[in-house]
Amino acid sequence: MRVLLVGAGGVGTAITRIAARRPFFDHMVVADYDPGRAHAAVAALGAATDRFSAARVDASDRDAVAALLTEHRCDVVLNATDPRFVMPLFEAALASGAHYLDMAMSLSRPHPERPHKECGVKLGDEQFARVREWEASGRTALVGCGVEPGLSDVFARYAADELFDEIEEIGIRDGADLTVDGYDFAPSFSIWTTIEECLNPPVVYETGRGWFTTEPFSEPEVFDFPEGIGPVECVNVEHEEVLLIPRWVKADRVTFKYGLGSEFIEVLKTLRTLGLDSTEPVTVNAGAVGPVRVSPRDVVAACLPDPATLGERMRGKTCAGTWVKGTRDGRPREVYLYHVVDNEWSMREYGSQAVVWQTAVNPVVALELLATGVWSGAGVLGPEAFAPRPFLDLLTEYGSPWGLREQ
């Protein structure tokens, strides 16, 4: 397998460090708009660099990506960019006859009149609209295969296959006790993506009603996370699992709740009030260079520290998991399937902070399953479309085991 990895930020760099320890691929081209980042990611691998090379590419340019795929004879595109670039990369892979894998899906657009009641364009709608073309190509577009979405979806399928006879609710629950020394506010993941998913209307799925939306930060609940993290207040957030899981797993209700914390929520609300969450460019007087057009959200991102650089200052653990409620053998059952990463461990072992490492390990596991033929299929497919046990076993083999807690 020859891989084109697009995006050499925190997650992309962590992917290279994880993949360098595995023999399943022949070569990985690491491409980024900033060639310096791509070269730095490759150079950091030391002796493993013979299987890696660096390149420059504009992820918004479908033709340029397709040309790079052809030039390097790559079999698959691994998208490690933010969701703005999903569609050009997805389309470049399809046009080039390559497989495709991402960790976040095509962007949503709220309903123009009833944004907090009805769905408009849902996450992934643009990708699922191309299902027949992908099926006809005989290629796999594996969408939403990071940690959340991704591992959380694998957990949902595992619960349905092996732990429950009937499922009442599947709820993704994400929480952490991470702190960053020296910063009052320093998100551990891309603020661009965080703003997108947290300020959009959250989506909920219910049998008989289908998908519908609520107010941002709705339905707060306190969830007790394992391995010493403890109770964290979680709220509804827009996320791909709610759009993916019902397509392959039967459940009466599916939700996603994120442990943001009251301070983080207030910052996000302030950004929205000031219009700083907008992606539409505004004109700014830049003095001697004259007026420039810039997106307010990009300015916010530029003013905050790069999450990839925070590892040495971070303390604590992050937990991603799937809570499932239903019946087994006629008896009520609740479980929480989870994956915890300690920042001290991920920094010591890989030099990557916990949140980006936890996101990065799952697409590498999925790539290995695709490369070895353990996972295969044609079309636009979520992680829950595949057998879950091989994924969970291989994740453990990678040195990062998962857990199951009876509730």
Residue 239 to residues 112, 130, 155, 362, Cα–Cα distance (Å): 19, 20, 16, 17
- What's the CA gap between 100 and 398, in Å, rounded? 22
Per-residue pLDDT for 287 more than 80? Answer: no
pLDDT higher at 359 or 191: 359
pLDDT at 5 over 80: yes
Asked if 172 contacts 255 with a C-beta cutoff of 8 angstroms, the reply is yes
Confidence of residue 196 (pLDDT cuts 50, 70, 90): confident
Q: Which two tokens stand for residue 259?
A: 């442990």
Structure confidence at residue 132 (pLDDT): 98
Find out whether 340 and 227 touch, Cβ atoms under 8 Å.
yes
User: Does the pLDDT at position 189 exceed 80?
Assistant: no
Report the range of poorest mean pLDDT among 77-86, 87-96, 258-267: 258-267
CA-CA distance, 178 to 163, in Å (whole number)? 31
Cβ atoms 155, 172 nearer than 8 A: no
* pLDDT of amino acid 263: 86
Paired residues of 32 in beta bridges: 56
Tokens of 226: 């394992």
pLDDT exceeds cutoff 90 at 244 = yes
Under 8 Å CB-to-CB from 17, ≥6 apart: which residues? 44, 45, 350, 351, 352
The answer, yes or no, to whether residue 193 has pLDDT greater than 90, is: no
For residue 355, name the pLDDT band (cuts at 50, 70, 90): very high
- Write out pLDDT tens, residues 198-229: 899 999 999 999 999 999 999 999 999 999 99
- Please determine, for residue 238, whether its predicted confidence score (pLDDT) is greater than 80: yes
Instruction: Look at residue 218 in the predicted model and tell me its pLDDT.
Output: 96
Token readout for 355 is 């949140």
Model pTM above 0.85 = yes
Over residues 67-87, mean pLDDT: 97
The pLDDT tens digits of the residues spanning 126-183 come to: 999 999 999 999 999 999 999 999 999 999 999 999 999 999 999 999 999 999 998 8
Specify the DSSP element, H or E, that contains 310.
none
Q: What is the dihedral of CA 216, 221, 222, 226, to 10 degrees?
A: -80
Let me know: does 127 contact 105? Beta carbons within 8 Å.
yes
Q: Is 50 exposed, middle or buried (0-12, 13-18, 19+ CB in 10 A)?
A: exposed
Residues 304-315, mean pLDDT to the nearest whole number: 88
**Span of 162-166, 253-257, 274-278, 391-395 with lowest mean pLDDT:** 274-278
How is residue 167 written in tokens? 């499922």
What sign does the CA torsion over 152, 157, 163, 169 have?
positive
Burial class from Cβ neighbours inside 10 Å (0-12, 13-18, 19+) for residue 115 reads middle
* Separation CA 298–CA 289 (nearest Å): 19
Mean pLDDT, rounded, for 373-399: 98
What proportion of the chain, given as a percentage, has pLDDT over 70? 100
What pLDDT is stored for residue 316 in this prediction?
96
d(CA 145, CA 104): 7
Per-residue pLDDT, averaged over 378-403, amounts to 98
Q: Which range has the worst mean pLDDT, 239-248, 249-258, 302-311, 339-348?
A: 302-311
For the segment 86-99, the average pLDDT, to the nearest whole number, is 98
Helix (H) or strand (E) holding 5: strand 2-6
The amino acid present at 259, given as its one-letter code, is G
- State in Å, rounded, how far the first CA of the chain is from the last one: 41
Q: Are strands 99-102 and 140-142 parallel, antiparallel or unpaired?
A: parallel
pLDDT level of residue 291 (50, 70, 90 thresholds): confident
Q: Which residues pair with 332 in a beta bridge?
A: 327
pLDDT confidence of residue 151 = 98
Q: Determine how many CB atoms are found less than 10 A away from the CB of residue 353.
A: 27
pLDDT of residue 133: 98
> Looking at per-residue confidence, does 395 or 196 come out higher?
395
List, as one string, the DSSP characters of 39-56: HHHHHTTGGGGGGEEEEE
Please report how the helices 62-71 and 86-96 are oriented relative to each other, as an axis angle in degrees rounded to 10: 40
What is the β-pairing status of strands 52-56 and 203-206?
A: unpaired
- What pLDDT sits at residue 262? 85
Which segment of 8-12, 219-223, 293-297, 314-318 scores lowest on mean pLDDT? 293-297
Predicted pLDDT of residue 192 = 84
Is the predicted pLDDT of residue 48 greater than 80, yes or no? no
Beta bridge partners of residue 77, listed in sequence order: 4, 100
Integer CA distances (angstroms), 108 to 122, 124, 131, 243, 311, in order: 5, 7, 18, 11, 31
Hey, what amino acid is at 288? A
Q: CA 203, CA 118: separation in Å to the nearest integer?
A: 9
Distance CA 4, CA 53 (A): 10
Q: Which of 69, 73, 71 has its CA nearest to residue 93?
A: 69
pLDDT of amino acid 239: 97
* Per-residue model confidence as pLDDT tens digits over 19-41: 999 999 999 999 999 999 999 99
